[in-house]
Amino acid sequence: NDTHPTLGIPELMRILMDENRLGWTQSWDITTKVFSFTNHTVLPEALEQWPVSLVEKLLPRHMQIIYDINWRFLQELQQNHGISGDKLGNMSIIVDTEYGKMVRMAYLALVASHTVNGVAAMHSKLIKETIFKDFNAIWPEKFQNKTNGVTQRRWLAQCNPPLAKLITDTLGTEAWVTHLDLLQGLREHAEDEEFQQKWAGVKKEAKVKLANMIKDLSGDEVNMEAIFDVQVKRIHEYKRQFMNILSVVLRYDRIKSMSPEERKDVVPRVVIIGGKAAPGYDLAKRIIKLISAVSETVNKDSEVGDLLKVYFVPDYNVSLAEVIIPGSDLNQQISTAGTEASGTSNMKFAMNGSLIIGTMDGANVEIAEEIGEENMFIFGVDAKEVPELREQREYLQVDPQFQHAVNMIKNGHFGWNDYFNPLIDSVTGGRDWYLLANDFNSYLQAQERVDSEWRDKKVWLKKSILSTAGSGKFSSDRTIHEYAEDIWKVEPQPPSPPEGRRE
């Protein structure tokens, strides 16, 4: 799984050769039948490069084996594929850098594995066209897709019992707990008014639990008529929590500038953001601080009152997710197209009838195929446009609304303006690598559609029901079955009776 465990390859070779006295050819034959490689990201920081000097010092025998694997691989490229020169260097497991020689762990995994897969259809296509393009050219048969899934037993049956009961009562069976595609049986009830009322009742129960959690965390009682708008995931620039909070800043400013009469038409929002930053990820920590600073200003502004509240959930974890996900009305999956391998929170939210606002990225693409793009709030540029837009970003005429939101932070409206300067710099000109400015207007338009459709409860409930009904594909049961059949080549075995009870 990704590149952390790739050391298992030279370790198995060492065990087979040094401890079991097998020759190289036999050991390599066994090793390449044992390992398969699942890639989880196209981001370069996750494609680890380990210093040769470090591996040589700590694990000299393993480094020796890695050198041998690379030498034989380069020989094969030259003799069997006619590859030479720069391309040979580009595909080498060992690479010279300004920091010295490095081991490209992803390339080691690629060379030694019998299959390589991405974790969503779009991601699997991207790795073949970008980071592993040269390898796909010589070994196209190695590459597969295995779209991620989540377990409905935790993420629906256990964490949302009222919804689980309604589904069971409606379908007349509990079999969906192990055969999630049965959820499509809910489609025929999506416009049934009586069923919609039951669905709304179940949703209200889940929102009450989430509201209680917010009260425990903050002491605030939130407006139950508001849209509970959630983004929970690792804090990362590509996941664009910064874009979310910029839109919140703009919403806050708009409400402030309205007359009391105009405010009567505002759709209230409770914005909930949660997630952890990697210990050394400075900008991610500044994003958390910005969310907290905006929260502090907005939540104590009596003029805005119940129309907008913002909460950062500290120490986000699975237990909190089991309350947050069922209680959300809207969830944000807003990564720059082409950066999110799959995402799985999108699946958990859809399963619980929360509507997605998102880009065509990762598994969102397949979710749109299953539940219907018209039942989501899709915005943003396509992945294929991203490279060119990055080149042109420096010359982009930035949307005035984007600039206004950025300026409010820059000018100290939420305090800490010096601390937030590096964040401002990260979305200025050509440094806006994740194209927040490019997507911002489209994002705001999608948010306006959210507000508009929330006002029509029948339409919203129909979409919510269809989200759950279209979630059948996204069970980890399906994913594991595909791995077992296509990669691991294992057959299901009937369980054996416990010892002492054999008949």
Dihedrals phi, psi of 313, to nearest 5 degrees? -85, 115
State yes or no: is 344 an active-site residue: yes
d(CA 32, CA 27): 9
Residue 133 CB-half CA count within 13 A: 6
CB 55 within 8 A of CB 63: yes
Residues near 271 by Cβ (< 8 Å), separated by ≥ 6? 229, 244, 248, 308, 309, 310, 311
d(CA 474, CA 465): 16
Q: Which of 14, 40, 154, 289 is catalytic?
A: 40
Residues near 143 by Cβ (< 8 Å), separated by ≥ 6? 115, 116, 117, 124, 127, 128, 132, 136
State yes or no: is 359 an active-site residue: no
| DSSP H helices in 113-192 | 121-129, 133-138, 152, 161-171
Q: Coil, strand or helix: which one is 428?
A: coil
Q: Coil, strand or helix: which one is 496?
A: coil
Q: Are strands 269-274 and 355-358 parallel, antiparallel or unpaired?
A: unpaired
Q: Which of 6, 41, 344, 479 is catalytic?
A: 344
Q: Which of 128, 146, 207, 233 is catalytic?
A: 233
State yes or no: is 40 an active-site residue: yes
Closest to 123 measured CA to CA, from 95, 147, 153 = 147
Q: Which of 62, 128, 146, 239 is catalytic?
A: 239
The separation between CA 427 and the C-alpha centre of its own chain, rounded to angstroms, equals 21
Q: Which of 123, 203, 251, 348 is catalytic?
A: 348
CB 245 within 8 A of CB 345: no
Q: Which of 187, 234, 276, 413 is catalytic?
A: 234
State yes or no: is 170 an active-site residue: no
d(CA 205, CA 163): 9
CB 409 within 8 A of CB 394: no
The first and second tokens of residue 224, run together, are 């139950």
Dihedral angle computed from the Cα positions of residues 360, 361, 364 and 368, in that order, rounded to the nearest 10 degrees: 30
Q: What is the DSSP letter of 470?
A: T
> Catalytic residue positions?
40, 233-234, 239, 344, 348
